[in-house]
Structure 1
Amino acid sequence: MPEVIFPGPEGRLEGRYHAQKEKDAPIAIILHPHPQFGGTMNNKVVYNLHYAFHNMGFNVLRFNFRGVGRSQGEYDQGVGELSDAASALDYLQSMNQNAKHCWVAGFSFGAWIGMQLLMRRPEITGFISVSPPANMYDFSFLAPCPSSGLIINGTADRVAPPADTHALVNKLHEQKGITITHTEIERSGHFFENDHMDTMITHVDEYVRRRLTETTR
């Protein structure tokens, strides 16, 4: 998998880009968990999401937020990280100017950033929000949420309790014109340890493939 370095708001950003041989493949970016709690683009959930999207025919980019790995800059409370994500999407789009579908997937802190990116970029056609930390961050900016997507979490998540995720989903269900699919993995914790990872990825795969089929009919 080719390592890539691309320009970000505070200097270079380090990523991994996986391209398809087919022309005009859909694109996806994958956003990693909190930089100050060990989150990197090589996190297991992020890594598995990356390959899930690639196996579905996407050109996929995952990258390190500022201050992580070889990415320049310092942690910026989510403000700068959102700008990093926008730069990553710019970079991905510059290499795939005719892609018909654009998805964003984020895990934990990355899910929060991904949902904010969704609000800024109308070209995003779908999202995957894995273990969104609705107990730690305000998601009220999703008014209205501009795109349909999948929110997925574990019933035994102690980092981002399911009750807070339910409240977020219920709020989004009130909005018209979009469909929020909510899936819970029984007995899974925040990080989908053991067999829960395969179960989570299977749900993501089925959801994205269904959405792509619906849009090509």
Structure 2
Amino acid sequence: MDNKIVEVFIPGPAGRMEAKYYKSDKITSPIALVLQPHPQYGGTMNNKVVVDTFHTFMENQFSVCRVNFRGVGKSDGEFDNGQGELADAAAALDWLERENFDNSQCWVSGFSFGSLIAMQLLMRRPEINRFIAISPQPNVYDFSFLSPCPTSGLMIYGKKDELVPLEYIVDLDKKLSAQKGIKVDFQAVNDANHFFKNTEDNLMKNLDKYIKKESALF
């Protein structure tokens, strides 16, 4: 399966963006975009959690893309404090949709800083059906823009996340669970830190289960 992952360059607002892409053989396959952690802390699309998430979507017959934001790897441009990165994510989604115009579902996923960008993209793109936010940081970034959150999704975090005090996650869960008509699942991975060091397998089992359950609904 791996030999079908190709390197592509996507036209973005700051120049070309380096990406990895896998196209499913399944007709009208669902699509997913996976977003990287913070570029200024060494985040790239080759981060282990990002790569494992990409593979989990692949194994569930999604056409899936992961992308380096501007200034990362071979991507043109330079870091833009989230604004430019959101524009990059939107351009990557445009490209993915053009490649899979007959897609049956559209998912967006991101890890850490990438989860913030994924959720901001979700607010702007009504075609997104589901999201997976891995290690969101509501203590660092304001997630109050998710009112209302337009679609159901998964927020998954480590029980021992050293960067995010648990009360911030609990508070976000309360806010989102009060909304009618959508269901945001909050799942904790025991013994996991922010980066899921040594607990990636448990993380991926949870993701796989969620993707299987939710993609079957469409």
For Structure 1 versus Structure 2, the TM-score category normalised by the shorter chain is over 0.9
Q: 2:90 aligns with which of 57, 74, 86?
A: 86
Aligned residue among 194, 197, 201 for 2:200:
197
Q: 1-side partners of 2:153 and 2:185: how far apart?
A: 6
Runs of 4+ in 1 over 4 A off after TM superposition: none
Q: Once the 2 structures are TM-superposed, how far is the Cα of residue 51 of structure 1 from its aligned partner?
A: 0.1
Separation of aligned partners in 2, 1:172 and 1:2 = 37
Specify the code of the residue in structure 1 equivalent to 2:86: L
Corresponding residue for residue 142 of structure 1: 146
The match for 1:178 is 182
Could you tell me how far apart the structure 2 residues matched to 1:161 and 1:52 are? 28
Once residues 193 and 209 of structure 2 are traced to their aligned partners in structure 1, the CA distance between those partners, rounded to angstroms, is: 21
**Match among 169, 175, 179 for residue 173 of structure 2:** 169
Aligned-pair CA distance for 1:118: 0.3
Partner Cα separation in structure 2 for residue 81 and residue 34 of structure 1? 10
Structure 2 partner of 1:14 = 18
The Cα of 1:29 is off from its aligned counterpart by 0.3
* CA deviation vs aligned residue, 1:120-174 (integer Å, no higher than 9, x gap): 0000000000000111001011010001000000110011222211111111111
Q: Distance in 2 between matches of 1:53 and 1:189?
A: 23
DSSP 3-state at the match of 1:151: strand
What amino acid does structure 2 have at the position aligned with 1:203?
Answer: N
Q: Percent identity?
A: 50
Report the counterpart of residue 32 of structure 1 in structure 2: 36
C-alpha deviation, 1:177, in angstroms:
1.0
SS in 1 for 2:216: helix
CA deviation profile, 1:32-59 (whole Å, cap 9, x unmatched): 0000000000000000000000000100
TM-score for the superposition, normalised by structure 2 = 0.97
Aligned length: 214
Q: Please give the alpha-carbon distance, in whole angstroms, between the structure 2 residues aligned to 1:201 and 1:166.
A: 22
Q: How does 1:11-160 map to 2 (within 5 A)?
A: 11-160=15-164
RMSD: 0.7
Is the CA contact 1:153–1:162 (under 8 Å) kept in the aligned structure 2?
A: no
Unaligned runs of 5+ in 2: none
Specify the SS of the correspondent of 1:113. Answer: helix
List runs of 5+ in structure 1 lacking aligned partners: none
